[in-house]
Structure 1
Amino acid sequence: MLRCMQALAELFLEDCPGITQLAIEEEEENIQSYSISVPVHSSSGGPGDRLLTSSDQNGLLCLPLNLMSSLKKISIRELPHQVFRRKNEGLSRFTCLEKLTVWGCPRLLSSLVDKHGNDEQRNGRWLLPKSLEELEIRGDSPAMMQPCFPGNLTCLRKLQVWFSPSLRSLQLRNCTTLEELVIGNCGSVAAPESLQFLGSLKYLKVFRSPGVIPCLENLSRQGYALFPGLERLVVDGPSVFTMSVCKQLTSLQYLQLENWEFVTRLTEEQERGLQLLKSLQELEFRDCSYDLKYLPVALHCLPSLKRLKISGCLGISRLPEQGLPLSLQQLDISNCSKVFNDQCKSLETGKLKVNIVGNTQTA
């Protein structure tokens, strides 16, 4: 039972229908306890049934106070009806928590996030421990989320938000130490006043979240400096290739372009934006199927490009007429047309290594 544990480093709750409420046990409370058996993983044992202390027969799981200073990882998954009974401090009382994962728990997130109507400074505030380094959210969430930390002190490095169609505003002004940000399948999200605060960001992935890249362009046109240290970028469309955005990506070394739809080639403006990525060393086109038919004409203008990867792009039949950059050292082709594979193979020299995998018969 949790109450008998003097310390616990990890807590994993998944698909526990017997738990509908989560709370922190107060020292002054004299709770008549009983035990319920639910599937749970912890660092003190493997998966299986464990006896957890609950305070009543309403599915309330109380976490003892002594665990507040020992838990480093909490993962809560597939508990759609669970809520958190809290005081103002919320999860910030877990003073040693380093990683928090919440999957498929919309009511839990809603109970943790403040709602203050039209008060933009307070609406969506989610008080988290200043010790937190990684936060991953999968599943629907409140319309606004604004991670906050006691004393505005934070060491949050990684944030992932996936599959949240209701999320409209993700305010990150307090996440100044963030190094990795992933926003995926959040069709309504935008962050009009926060991305400019992420000066430490090194990795950004945006997938099926069309409001994010236009936000970058708007901020750039307003004169904000964006991501001076960004090294790796993964996006699912060419909208990132604007002059205003690309001129700020002065440290970008890796760019992955995946799952393009209804785009056959870059526009002239997008070609000019691509040419501004002077520090780019690795470029990858992935899973563009038959939609993408032409590689960028300006590929030869990338002076630092060392590796080019093209995977699952069956619509491409030839290389650009002006060729590839002289700096290129490795060309990796997989699951593309045979015509394209043969052309790429003919380029192999002592300086340029060509790898071909999945030689299809599609012309």
Structure 2
Amino acid sequence: MKKKLAAVLTAAALTAGLLAGCSGDLSNEYVTVKQYKGLEVTQAEAQEITDDYVEQVIQSNLSAAMTTEPITDRAAQSGDWVNIDYTGYIDEATFEGGSAEGADLELGSGSFIGATEEYAGFEDQIVGHNTGEEFDITVQFPEDYQDTTKAGVVARFHIVLNEIYSQNVPELTDEWVAENSQDSATVDEYREEVRSQLEESSEQSARSELETGVQQALLEQSEMKKYPDGAVDEQVQQANDYYSMIASMYGIELSDFITGYMQMTEDEFNEQVEKVAKESVQLEEAMKLIAEKENLEPTDEEYEEAIKGYAEEAGMDDVDAFKEQYGEDTLKESALLEAVLDYLVDNCVQVEASESE
């Protein structure tokens, strides 16, 4: 499935001024569509997948498989990783941002305060200590420190060395590939697998840009006469239900989520939700009208194939249960709108960014 109904409707919120012109208006009691063939959209090209990019992703995958091993038979050395608690003091008073528990640090990485003429660096002074030790170090903030109130200031840190350990990133070998890939058995095969995945993702991103573009253009090229009874209210309710669910995950009321997390007033939120709801309904009605004009409604077999794909994406093997959960009418509508979206993309005109602005 290229786009679920939710994605089709959500993108309607991203309006943009594109296009003028007419190829014969379509109209019904709800909406008028001025143009839908040859919609001009900004050109979208798939990102080129270079050898360097493939290797970068492979290294990231290897790093994700990294393991750690405690070091218990010696003191900390440069290059080791340590887990520490630390409390910083300036003039024997703690200061904001100067304390942490369970901080992981690579000694020698230069992540913490470095050496000056008079004082060794933060990391250098941990070297030589053993797991379980508590000790104090004295450092000097650099003169060009971003917090000017601390620039050049001497500070004392109390350190608790919780653990010394190494991080072990596996090498890319046939053995590692066999254990970590379902489709490849050798390093060369794995490189091609990663390349194929990246190319597919790049093509999907470009396709998504086009889909968003044609929806933006179609919104601009359509005009609502009236909204179907209850359609906007239904969209508003769905939005409120969604954000209420998100708020409940944070353990707060919707009103607090709106003002605290979304940084909006409730009136602003309600206005935005209604605006998006109206645009969503407008886009949906315009696409249904185009489907009728161009005979784009999928066959029963195509509907079933699309719904099966939706179920697979949702991780459900039982298609009938999936239909019952989401509603067969809703799923069929999603397949219909997807067919229209494919048609609009196939018939759009891609132009350079400067031409479409």
Task: Name the structure where strand makes up a greater proportion of residues.
Answer: 1
Task: Name the structure where helix makes up a greater proportion of residues.
Answer: 2
| TM-score, length of structure 1 as denominator length | 0.21
Larger radius of gyration, structure 1 or 2?
A: 2
Higher relative contact order, structure no. (Cα contacts within 8 Å, ≥ 6 residues apart): 2
